[in-house]
Structure 1
Amino acid sequence: MNIKKLVVTALIAGSLAACAHTSDRKVNMRAASVQQLGAYNWQLVEATDRHGRPLANFAANSALKLNFAGQRLNVSGGCNSIGSAYQLSGQDMYIQAPMSTMMACAPDVMAQDAAVIAFMNGQKLHAGLLNVEDAQNPQPLLWIENQRGQSLLWRGVPTATSQYGQPTVVFWEISPQTQTCQTDNGAVQCLKVREIFYNDQGVKVKTGVWRNFAGTIDGWQFNPAENQVLRLNVYEVKPAGTADDTAASQYIYKLDQIIERSEVNSTKHKHK
């Protein structure tokens, strides 16, 4: 059963029960724990109103992600990073007024950011894991409903931390120009990157030298029209099935946040 059929089955199965809040539907679900929420990256599957119709402003970008760390949550994948403190009490999730970074993007993506904030809006939400089991789709599904009966459905993907351990945090400046470089697979277009170092007060204290990077950064797309500074989580993956400490490790690079971006040939910067 694919994820779409899984979602539809869950919604139809629960639609015969009494409504939870103001929604015309109710899904069968169980309470989630803080540990369960934090073990996954939650990717948006669908956004619907109280009647099950698609929510306006959520169709512009399907890359929305929800992450939990301790007692804070963060929504990314749109234009800005949106975060808030939260508390769980059974199937109730209490959200404080969300805070957002202040970058400007295309109007439809900005409208999606506003829709996310309006959905949470410092209120009590109804949240839980759907009671659906399917061997072909072991990823959990998280249902979040606000008091207007609007709902967001998220699919959980295990976090890199739960798979590989704690990451190293680095800051990279990415040049808008690429560079041809040689790899084991022949000539490719490499990113030009250099590491940025900040002190405890967030002041830039040192800049590394430019170098070529032939790998990929999960959750990020190269934009030749922008110069960007990224905060990255770097995970070390040791070779499986060996106790040899000298065996070469592999590294996984994941975007945590774009903290600075500027247009090419422009002195106007947009900061975090």
Structure 2
Amino acid sequence: MNSNRPIPARLTVFAAVALSAAVLAACSNGEQAAPTVNASSLNGHTFVSTEVTGHQLVPGSTVRLHFENGDLSARAGCNTMGAPYAITADELRWTGGARSTMMACDPALMSQDAWLTDFLDRGAAVTLDGPTLTLTSGATTLTLRQGDAAKN
């Protein structure tokens, strides 16, 4: 074999195209991965529900979540609840017993507080896409958009 022979230009172009295609195929399966969520990406932000599937909110109510220095406070229409939280393996959950104000509200709103407490205690898969935070647990998906902290 003569190693001094030049490689034909068409073969070089073909090899470059084939290598580029292989690299692109290896790097992408056609879906974009959701950005990794961590406590620092949420810190200081408030998110307000825009859609809930798998659970019906009390008409006129929203879910509001506020993240501050390792603490997650939540409001679902009646009491404000809060607890330390963690995100591990793309799952967000309260890590301590939730504390809560003790207001007496309409029974439907108090029931909704209990539902949200259970949802955050159990943990939910979490994604953050720009200003949209999505929490999913079982058949329930809570979609929230970054909102106004002053209303929390």
Q: TM-score, normalised by structure 2?
A: 0.67
2:144 aligned partner: 154
- Once the two structures are superposed, the pairs formed by residues 189-200 of structure 1 within 5 Å of their partners are none
Task: Indicate if the aligned counterparts of 1:128 and 1:144 stay in contact, CA closer than 8 A.
Answer: yes
Residues of 1 paired with 2:76 and 2:123: CA distance? 23
How much has 1:43 moved relative to structure 2? 0.5
State how many pairs are aligned: 120
Alpha-carbon spacing, 1:158–1:114, altered in 2? closer, same or farther (3 Å): closer
Amino acid at match of 2:110: M
The answer (yes or no) to whether the contact 1:60–1:108 under 8 Å persists in 2 is no
State the AA in 1 paired with 2:133.
Answer: L
Matches within 5 A, 1:120-159: 120=120, 122-130=121-129, 140-146=131-137, 148-157=138-147, 159=149
Counterpart Cα distance in 1 of 2:47 and 2:35: 17
> Is the Cα contact below 8 Å between 2:85 and 2:92 reproduced in 1?
yes
Which residue in the other structure is 1:68 paired with? Answer: 67
Deviation at 1:125, TM superposition (A): 2.0
Unaligned runs of 5+ in 2: 1-31
The answer to whether structure 1 residue 114 and structure 2 residue 114 are counterparts is yes
Alignment check: 8 A CA contact 2:74 2:81 kept: yes
Take 2:33 and 2:139, find their aligned partners in 1: how far apart are those partners? 15
CA distance in 2, matches of 1:90, 1:141: 19
Report the equivalent of 2:102.
102
CA deviation profile, 1:203-248 (whole Å, cap 9, x unmatched): xxxxxxxxxxxxxxx53xxxxxxxxxxxxxxxxxxxxxxxxxxxxx
Aligned-residue identity in percent: 24
Distance 1:140 1:85 in 2: 22
Structure 1 CA distance, aligned partners of 2:113 and 2:85? 19
Aligned positions of 1:75-90 closer than 5 A: 75-76=74-75, 78-90=77-89
> For structure 1, which runs of at least 5 residues remain unmatched after alignment?
1-26, 50-54, 131-138, 160-217, 220-255, 257-272
Partner of 1:48: 53
Q: Secondary structure at the match of 1:109?
A: helix
For 1:34 and 1:125, how far apart are their aligned partners in 2? 14
| Cα contact 1:44–1:155 (8 A) shared by 2 | yes
* Equivalent residue, structure 2, for 1:9: none
**Alpha-carbon deviations, 1:153-186, whole Å to 9, x = none?**
1101365xxxxxxxxxxxxxxxxxxxxxxxxxxx
| Residue matched to 2:3 | none
Shift of 1:91: 1.1
Distance 2:60 2:148 in 1: 22
The CA deviation at 1:77 is: 5.2
Q: Return the alpha-carbon distance in structure 1 between the equivalents of residues 44 and 107 of structure 2.
A: 33
**Which has the greater radius of gyration?**
2
Q: Which has the higher helix share?
A: 2
Counterpart contact for 1:44–1:62, Cα < 8 Å? no
3-state DSSP of counterpart to 1:30: coil
* Counterpart residue identity of residue 108, structure 1: A
Instruction: State how far apart, in whole Å, the 1-side matches of 2:92 and 2:63 are.
Output: 19
Give the C-alpha shift of residue 28 in structure 1: 5.7
Q: Secondary structure of the equivalent of 1:94? A: strand
